[in-house]
Amino acid sequence: MPSYNFKAIKVVPSSKDFIDIVLSRTQRQTPTVVHNGWAIARIRQFYMRKVKYTQSNWHDKLTTILEDFPKVDDIHPFYADLLNVLYDRDHFKLALGQLHMARQLIDRVSQDYVRLLKYGDSLYRCKQLKRAAMGRMCTIMKKQAASLAYLEQVRQHLSRLPSIDPATRTILVTGYPNVGKSSFMNKVTRADVDVQPYAFTTKSLFVGHLDHKYLRWQVIDTPGILDRPLEERNTIEMQSITALAHLRAAVLYIVDISEQCGYTIAQQAALFHSIRPLFSNKPLLIVANKTDAIRPEALPDADKAILAEMGRAEVTEAEAQILTMSTLTEENVMAVKVAACERLLAARVEMKMQGKRINDVANRMHVAMPKLRDGASRPPQIPPSVLAARAAKSSSTAAALRKTERNLQEENGGAGVYSCDETKRYLLDNVHWRRDIIPEIMDGHNIADFVDPDIDAKLEALEQEEDRLAAAWEASGVGMQVDALSPQEALMLQRIRTRKVKIRALHQRQKAVAGNQAVLPRGADAERTLTTSRMRDSLEGMGMDGSLAVARARSRSRVGRKRERSMGPSAMDIDGGAEGEDGDVIMAPPKKRIHSSKSRSMSRGRLASMEAPTAKTGLKDSVQKNKAIKMADRQQRVRGKEARKGEGDRHIPSLRPKHLLVGHRGKGKTDRR
Nearest to 482 by CA among 472, 492, 473, 469: 492
pLDDT tier for residue 666 given thresholds of 50, 70 and 90: low
Asked if residue 140 belongs to a domain, the reply is yes
Q: Is 331 helix (H, G, I), strand (E, B) or coil?
A: strand
Q: Note the Cα 236 to chain centre separation in Å.
A: 32
Residues 349 and 215 both lie in one domain: yes
Q: Which residue has the higher pLDDT, 509 or 225?
A: 225
Q: What does pLDDT average to over the chain?
A: 80
Asked if residue 624 belongs to a domain, the reply is no
Asked if residue 518 belongs to a domain, the reply is no
Asked if residue 45 belongs to a domain, the reply is yes
Please tell me the distance from the alpha carbon of residue 635 to that of residue 672, in angstroms, as a whole number. Answer: 43
**H-only helix segments in 264-300:** 265-274
CATH number for position 281: 3.40.50.300
pLDDT tens digits along 447-465: 766 667 787 888 899 999 9
CB 46 within 8 A of CB 119: no
pLDDT tens digits along 324-351: 898 888 888 899 999 999 999 888 888 8
Answer left, alpha or beta for residue 596, where phi above 0 means left and psi between -120 and 50 means alpha.
Answer: alpha
- In eight-state DSSP terms, residue 144 is T
CB 151 within 8 A of CB 103: no
Q: Mean pLDDT across the stretch 207-224?
A: 89
Q: Mean pLDDT across the stretch 491-513?
A: 86
Question: Looking at the 3D structure of the chain, how many domains does it have?
Answer: 2
Residues 95 and 237 both lie in one domain: no
Asked if residue 474 belongs to a domain, the reply is no
Residues 254 and 195 both lie in one domain: yes
Residues 134 and 252 both lie in one domain: no
- Give me the pLDDT at residue 571, please: 40
Residues 168 and 120 both lie in one domain: no
- Give me the pLDDT at residue 56, please: 95
- Give me the pLDDT at residue 47, please: 94
Q: Note the Cα 91 to chain centre separation in Å.
A: 38
Kindly compute the dihedral angle of the four CA atoms of residues 379, 384, 387, 388, in this order, to the nearest 10 degrees. 170
pLDDT tier for residue 480 given thresholds of 50, 70 and 90: low
Q: Which residue has the higher pLDDT, 60 or 411?
A: 60
- Give me the pLDDT at residue 355, please: 72
Please tell me the distance from the alpha carbon of residue 439 to that of residue 405, in angstroms, as a whole number. Answer: 27
- Strands 585-587 and 577-579, sheet pairing: antiparallel
Q: Which residue has the higher pLDDT, 300 or 558?
A: 300
Please tell me the distance from the alpha carbon of residue 343 to that of residue 285, in angstroms, as a whole number. Answer: 9
Asked if residue 573 belongs to a domain, the reply is no
Q: Mean pLDDT across the stretch 530-552?
A: 83
Residues 80 and 62 both lie in one domain: yes
- Give me the pLDDT at residue 613, please: 53
Tell me the sheet residues that pair with 219.
Answer: 171, 208
Residues 131 and 185 both lie in one domain: no
Residues 280 and 146 both lie in one domain: no
Contacts of 1 (CB under 8 A, 6+ apart): 76, 165, 166, 167
CB 96 within 8 A of CB 130: no
Write out the E strands in 270-379: 284-289, 322-324
- Among 110, 141, 157, residue at a domain's last position: 157
CATH number for position 25: 1.20.120.1190
- Give me the pLDDT at residue 301, please: 86
Contacts of 575 (CB under 8 A, 6+ apart): 585, 587
- Among 157, 192, 207, residue at a domain's last position: 157
Q: Which residue has the higher pLDDT, 56 or 472?
A: 56
Q: Is 212 helix (H, G, I), strand (E, B) or coil?
A: strand
- Among 310, 327, 353, residue at a domain's last position: 353
Asked if residue 240 belongs to a domain, the reply is yes
What residues make up the domain containing 108? 6-157
Residues 200 and 120 both lie in one domain: no
- Give me the pLDDT at residue 316, please: 46
Please tell me the distance from the alpha carbon of residue 221 to that of residue 162, in angstroms, as a whole number. Answer: 11
Residues 81 and 182 both lie in one domain: no
Please tell me the distance from the alpha carbon of residue 610 to that of residue 597, in angstroms, as a whole number. Answer: 18
Q: How far apart are the first and last CA of the chain?
A: 47
Q: What DSSP line would sit under 544-563, residue for residue?
A: ---HHHHHHHHHHSHHHHHH
pLDDT tens digits along 2-43: 457 788 889 999 999 999 999 999 999 999 899 988 999 999
Residues 129 and 206 both lie in one domain: no
Q: Mean pLDDT across the stretch 240-248?
A: 86
Nearest to 329 by CA among 183, 466, 199: 183
Residues 211 and 303 both lie in one domain: yes
Q: Is 138 helix (H, G, I), strand (E, B) or coil?
A: helix
Q: Which residue has the higher pLDDT, 359 or 522?
A: 359
- Strands 215-221 and 170-175, sheet pairing: parallel
pLDDT tens digits along 425-453: 888 888 888 887 766 777 777 776 666 77
Asked if residue 626 belongs to a domain, the reply is no
Q: What DSSP line would sit under 348-367, residue for residue?
A: HHHHHHTSSTHHHHHHT---
Ranges 124-138, 355-369, 406-420: which has the least confidence: 355-369
Ranges 186-195, 362-371, 451-460: which has the least confidence: 362-371
Ranges 25-29, 227-231, 396-400, 638-642: which has the least confidence: 396-400
Cα–Cα distances (Å) from 412 to 167, 407, 408, 614, in that order, read 44, 9, 6, 86
- Give me the pLDDT at residue 194, please: 81
Q: Does residue 502 have a pLDDT over 70?
A: yes
Nearest to 147 by CA among 42, 271, 13, 2: 13
pLDDT tier for residue 608 given thresholds of 50, 70 and 90: very low
CB 118 within 8 A of CB 49: no
Please tell me the distance from the alpha carbon of residue 40 to that of residue 34, in angstroms, as a whole number. Answer: 11
Q: Does residue 521 have a pLDDT over 70?
A: no
